[in-house]
Structure 1
């Protein structure tokens, strides 16, 4: 279990003594709230009695009692400001919250026990009432289990009868967390200008983050996604603060000189993980361009500087698009979104109150990269898609969380393309998700999109489902289905699905049946029959085609060539050639077959999976590979842009899996010297990163750098004049390419590039305040200048990081600080991650991973992570393990990783560690087999450059 909450350094943690009038006011409100909430319409008794009570559960709640409504009163005792009083040595801050809740439920199965979730809460005053008779029911006792099931069990002397309506009142108290879970504290600074004096003061806010299983740490509840209920909330909070929640404010008034009472309208029926509130001194900007009231909240300084304006404007466009596209209105009268100084994850889709990290919502003109608008728009589009997929229609259990996350990713492609068509990032986003999913799903330790329930029970197992398979593979499988049935049919099915199951819970088969029924023309394979292969099986296929005889077969793709699988897929295949139009065939699950369509004529190449609509890799016979690579070098435009990138990705990953020679993969990069489009370069850089990870500590590194320096030189020269003048192209894709050119040229030692970066950074250091580097180019130039520099450059960047009030600037500097080649500076940086006043807890995982990406810092990061595991694992522990171990490729590192697994035991991120072990084993074997061949290829390619 997480350690009990403590406040940041310098603050005492103690319960403040509330004034008598405040206590009296709170008690009065509690009583009033209970009375006001007791008159509710409950479910009528069923006409037939359900079966007898099931056995007591292990980790899942029984369905004997079904919640319908919660009436909740919560009082966070947190102060938003520290008040230093004369002769008082202890600050006034406290990290306590108190409250009470009444849950109204009906009985489904006869029982004398109430099972609900509670974790790290002190519970008192249980009061059970039979709502049908109005009488109190005597309580025999209550028992709380915080290990395993995290149940609160209350036994009554009387029996709950099927069809009866009841309520349970409980008082509770707990600690406000400082590790970004449940109800947590977030700290920020506020600058005050009074005459000529400038002061910087700390401010505090309280916010919730409950997905997936932290609602039980805020109030006792039936904390499972299909146990939906309506939430009535009252928050008692400090005067001078504002309380926000899922629904709009209903009423508020001042209790006394310290406290304020705010009551909110009832929410729609929803899952507990979506319940949310925030208490802060934030201010807002409001959109006037939407049917729904859209408020964007942030620090007062950020609102005054109009940093929230872009998010507010684009949110209105995205919300309108979704309402039209789904033909279903957003479920509330208002939509609040708030930029929090601290949040893990990047954003959370709480219904009506979406929370974001500041960098995911705020855009700062003149400081933020132009490309940062793409990030903000994509994240908002993802979270707003959840207002339908997840909030209105919810998966029954966490084993199918992909129905939330996969849909949110897929729908964000459409929404961003509508809201900001000039970005033209649909293809970039799709390829990014495709490659991200491919990499994790190629491991034997991957999992199906729809995992068996038995493997997703405990909170740690649930958290393990929030990975690239769920998000990225989910989106890719939906895209494949939409392409196959047609977007009109798919969209029609989605609209019917949302309307049919609005307010309810679903399993994936509900979706497949509706889309199948939406088809105008029936196919030889139904949607349920097709999709079972892609969602209930782990991994994905590689199809191999011999264009000399038309033979085609499939097998599961593994990086580990020794791994075996009997899995097969039903595969929809699009293909084209250099002399014919695109066509379509099915590959059935029966095994190797011959298809006349795949026999090439003289001089003809065949390209399979046009525009990468299918979730599979493609391998060819050597002759067809050679023709395709020749086409890339002579006239690449004859091959669709997405496929130019995918041919590189398939070649490199097939080489990693030992299905093609590694020289074929390297040959696929030759055409890049003349390429100007972003996607092929992005694919090459992503795949060559694996070569750097495996070889940057060996003799391969020198000739590899020389080759890449030569390949990127023309691309860098293409942008040279603009880069030297800090000018960026208007076209967004070209802006991405310019950054790639600088990064690849500088990191591989192109003298002109290094001189440009160090000169621009030195100019900034000299002027200290005036930064003439274009915001688009700052991140890459900061990194390359710090990498080429020493203590002076690093400490300048560190001071700028500490003093900057601009979220975007801080993020760019935080990344750049990890680029240093000085191990002692990197070690200092790692130590800073232990101090939340230097590096926020939400940034600890990514900061350590950034250091680990640096060859000079990888060993430091691995040792540091293990030495400080209890602290650094409070963020995304799985991502931390994955990031720090990516370079592992020796037997010694493998043994250390296995020891780490033993030390973690059952409490560590087990799936992430297993995947790291599997990947390390693959890396060891691959390096052993390919190092000499790779070295020879690079030396041959660069022989004329010496």
Structure 2
């Protein structure tokens, strides 16, 4: 798709500066707005076309040389989300026109544009605040604008509010006056920036501040939550200083505010100087929140701060370059996190998190290239996925390893300095990295960003000679010849006992190497830096599995991940994966355990609708694999426990407990009993999710009621979300119905959290079926609550359809959506259905193989007493 195919605004006039005033009304949930937009006339015209949605215009005029001329008409096109304003005079190139518009907008409940958000005040009353979410194309809901990233402008924002409320925007307040009972806050003029980064927040807000950076760094929250903001405020201040040094580029704004928003559709939004967050992704308390939550908050905060340079200062020219924003911010958050918390070993976690997310989605036919062609607005939300974020960051990690980290950072500095306050394409980044390294980076990287998919490297041995052959990988395993034409430049990274062969690149179909004495031990893709799967002969996989001490932590986790993916897609047998993980019972590293147990859980889930013998036998395997180590490590936590050690304890406790370990179940129920009687410290935050889930499964309704009470009166947002996720753990029909009924109860489950109670329901077949029936029976209401133009509908469709892995279930879902409009979630639906088909093929192909291995290994049982 060429640039000419993009559906963009006419270029007759271009924006120069927005002077915008807004006054929100919390009684009518509307806002009054006045805009004065300075224009640059490119071609003489008597019409101006802007983006505008869900607003009414009052007075519209153009001012030229002090003379005001009213518009003839303003015609809205709801489908195109534009308004065409016609004037009785011609706007000429020699003029400096200013477009003046009075308008009224809706302070909506869709978490888009300028919207309202509610929270419960300390006195129990319901309170409101107003906030924004402009990305990707919802600034047009807040004010008439040229809502495209290439149209960078300066902004002067004024907010008219109740005097008791706090008003925030991207810049610092230049003046604040009280007039006619209203507070008028005028903010300093902004630097050049895109409309999707404009932000304002109005509400009763409290803050904590860090003085560790040269400008104010504050965390704002609704009253009563502010003390949980200290961790993020301190981390943000230190991170800003770190990024200034790393990028050799000062942060250009006069302050940095971060705000916890009670209703928020994403995780966070990088608005320049005013970052907004989902509450659970910003606030953290050592006493009530676990290690995983701390890591998540740190990663999100550093991700958004990286955007202040990469995305805000330098911005993609169009949405197909989204990965330039998100891929880099993701990579940079890991780079930064590793600097501040080396004991977290985040680059190990990368292998089982970012890399696997990328490969899982990119193994689908319905995936898309990193640089995905985008034609119009309603296509944009669907590319905020694991390709833009995770695969994008994996490509950057791969090139940073290839060039060397110092050279990579030098190239980033060149890129930022050359394009600050401007817009870029991917080629601009490659040019800067090429200049820094002296290597032709675009020649290497264009294939990775412009082509969909990745390869599987098949290894064949003949004596000391080894042949490496690349082919397109698909989760379904049925690659067609026309899908297998791309040859990726693959850095093989072969690890031997003595070294890593870092300079070997496979950019042809195959290559044969004589490894000589190194044939005794070698492993492809050292530390899993490359974006590919490796398929070994069964004998080589067995040798690698027998020598884990020769492999790095990343290698061990990657070996399991590849074996799991190759089994589920038919490139190898599932018994190979099971043999590999079953011999690593003494493994000590968290990320390796995490990947092992994740792959075993995927097997159990794939067979969940089959006769129960295999799923139940896999449960026995889970228990007998994890219980010894869980008992050895224990499930009490102290300040001397390391961050990663705490996560491993929690993981083993959870899996062994849910797999039926009686000692852990008894301990969990004892903790839950104390908790339910008022001792909120009885359950350590690291294992609260496991205890909640075990209690609901074992105790049923009484535990469900305790979790509901926790949701209504939590000690933290993290605890509330943990309760949400475990409500559906029981397969009792009555409790399934009670959980399902909460999904539309917005006094208990906000629309932003609708997918959270679905998590427990997806752990058993009864819940999976109930979720799909709910979707089918309530489709019109779901679409009303979560409009297709926003991102959450696609997520809900994926969650409620992807688990229904039966032929009848697949046919029912396909029939239901066949004649329904799927605009806005068609890609997510296609990916979900493709995943179901792959699971069905896996079950059909490997049932006898899995059953045979379980029997021969002593795990197969139809006797429920073993469970």
State the TM-score bracket (shorter-chain normalisation).
over 0.9
Does the 8 Å CA contact 2:220/2:260 hold for their aligned counterparts? yes
CA distance in 2, matches of 1:559, 1:252: 58
SS at match of 1:856: helix
Deviates more, 1:420-429 or 1:467-476: 420-429
Q: 1:186 maps to what in 2?
A: 117
SS at match of 2:224: helix
Which among 425, 434, 441 is matched to residue 527 of structure 1? Answer: 441
Query: How is 1:508-547 mapped onto 2 (pairs within 5 angstroms)?
Result: 508-519=426-437, 522-523=438-439, 526-547=440-461
Q: 1:229 maps to what in 2?
A: 153
Q: 1:68 maps to what in 2?
A: 16
Query: How is 1:414-493 mapped onto 2 (pairs within 5 angstroms)?
Result: 414-452=335-373, 456-493=374-411
CA distance in 1, matches of 2:762, 2:627: 28
Deviates more, 1:583-592 or 1:645-654: 583-592
Q: 1:22 maps to what in 2?
A: none
Q: 1:935 maps to what in 2?
A: 851
SS at match of 2:180: coil
Shift of 1:56: 11
Cα deviation, 1:396-440, whole Å, max 9, x if unaligned, reads 111110000000100001111222333333321353000011100
Q: 1:764 maps to what in 2?
A: 675
The yes-or-no answer on 1:156 pairing with 2:78 is no
State the TM-score, normalizing by the size of structure 2: 0.95
Which among 607, 610, 613 is matched to residue 695 of structure 1? Answer: 607
Shift of 1:59: 2.6
Does the 8 Å CA contact 2:288/2:715 hold for their aligned counterparts? no
The yes-or-no answer on 1:116 pairing with 2:50 is yes
Does the 8 Å CA contact 2:351/2:528 hold for their aligned counterparts? no
CA distance in 2, matches of 1:67, 1:941: 70
Deviates more, 1:491-500 or 1:668-677: 668-677
- CA spacing shift, 1:794–1:944, aligned 2, 3 Å: closer
SS at match of 1:845: coil
Cα deviation, 1:867-913, whole Å, max 9, x if unaligned, reads 33225535612222222223232221111221232243243500011
State the TM-score, normalizing by the size of structure 1: 0.87
Which among 835, 840, 849 is matched to residue 924 of structure 1? Answer: 840
SS at match of 1:436: helix
Which among 281, 284, 294 is matched to residue 207 of structure 2? Answer: 284
Which among 164, 172, 193 is matched to residue 270 of structure 1? Answer: 193
Does the 8 Å CA contact 1:845/1:877 hold for their aligned counterparts? no
CA distance in 2, matches of 1:185, 1:253: 24
CA distance in 1, matches of 2:128, 2:490: 54
Which among 543, 549, 564 is matched to residue 652 of structure 1? Answer: 564
Shift of 1:621: 2.5
CA distance in 2, matches of 1:906, 1:109: 39
Query: How is 1:574-653 mapped onto 2 (pairs within 5 angstroms)?
Result: 574-578=493-497, 580-597=498-515, 604-631=520-547, 636-653=548-565
Cα deviation, 1:649-672, whole Å, max 9, x if unaligned, reads 101111122111221111111222
The yes-or-no answer on 1:260 pairing with 2:183 is yes
Which among 741, 754, 768 is matched to residue 665 of structure 2? Answer: 754
CA distance in 2, matches of 1:923, 1:370: 33
Deviates more, 1:441-450 or 1:612-621: 612-621
- CA spacing shift, 1:141–1:663, aligned 2, 3 Å: same
Which among 730, 744, 748 is matched to residue 655 of structure 2? Answer: 744
The yes-or-no answer on 1:77 pairing with 2:25 is yes
CA distance in 2, matches of 1:541, 1:398: 26
Query: How is 1:72-151 mapped onto 2 (pairs within 5 angstroms)?
Result: 72-78=20-26, 93-130=27-64, 133-137=65-69, 139-147=71-79, 149-151=80-82
- CA spacing shift, 1:138–1:756, aligned 2, 3 Å: closer
- CA spacing shift, 1:727–1:756, aligned 2, 3 Å: farther
Which among 658, 671, 677 is matched to residue 589 of structure 2? Answer: 677
Q: 1:247 maps to what in 2?
A: 171
Shift of 1:247: 0.4
Shift of 1:609: 0.8
Deviates more, 1:157-166 or 1:932-941: 157-166
SS at match of 1:464: helix
Cα deviation, 1:775-812, whole Å, max 9, x if unaligned, reads 22212212212221111111012112212252222122
Which among 687, 697, 704 is matched to residue 618 of structure 2? Answer: 704
Deviates more, 1:552-561 or 1:896-905: 896-905
Q: 1:30 maps to what in 2?
A: none
Query: How is 1:866-905 mapped onto 2 (pairs within 5 angstroms)?
Result: 866-868=776-778, 869-871=782-784, 873-874=786-787, 876-905=792-821
Does the 8 Å CA contact 2:600/2:618 hold for their aligned counterparts? no
Q: 1:406 maps to what in 2?
A: 327
Q: 1:500 maps to what in 2?
A: 418
Does the 8 Å CA contact 1:570/1:586 hold for their aligned counterparts? no
Does the 8 Å CA contact 1:187/1:202 hold for their aligned counterparts? yes
SS at match of 2:228: coil
Larger radius of gyration: 1
Q: 2:695 maps to what in 1?
A: 785
SS at match of 1:846: coil
CA distance in 2, matches of 1:770, 1:557: 48
The yes-or-no answer on 1:552 pairing with 2:476 is no
CA distance in 2, matches of 1:902, 1:626: 46
CA distance in 2, matches of 1:826, 1:220: 45
CA distance in 2, matches of 1:672, 1:826: 37
Does the 8 Å CA contact 1:250/1:265 hold for their aligned counterparts? yes
- CA spacing shift, 1:187–1:646, aligned 2, 3 Å: same
Does the 8 Å CA contact 1:757/1:784 hold for their aligned counterparts? yes
SS at match of 1:142: strand
Does the 8 Å CA contact 2:707/2:723 hold for their aligned counterparts? yes
Does the 8 Å CA contact 1:700/1:935 hold for their aligned counterparts? yes
Aligned residues: 848
Deviates more, 1:935-944 or 1:439-448: 935-944
Shift of 1:205: 0.6
Q: 1:6 maps to what in 2?
A: none
CA distance in 2, matches of 1:595, 1:110: 66
Shift of 1:583: 1.0
SS at match of 2:383: coil
The yes-or-no answer on 1:808 pairing with 2:718 is yes
Which among 377, 387, 407 is matched to residue 308 of structure 2? Answer: 387
Q: 2:103 maps to what in 1?
A: 172
Q: 1:716 maps to what in 2?
A: 630
CA distance in 1, matches of 2:859, 2:131: 60
Shift of 1:675: 0.9
Shift of 1:58: 7.6
Shift of 1:726: 5.3
Q: CA RMSD in A?
A: 2.0
CA distance in 2, matches of 1:915, 1:140: 48
Gap runs ≥5 in structure 1:
1-54, 79-92, 193-199
Shift of 1:703: 1.5
CA distance in 1, matches of 2:793, 2:256: 31
Does the 8 Å CA contact 1:672/1:680 hold for their aligned counterparts? no
Does the 8 Å CA contact 1:138/1:158 hold for their aligned counterparts? no
CA distance in 1, matches of 2:786, 2:839: 25
- CA spacing shift, 1:57–1:475, aligned 2, 3 Å: closer
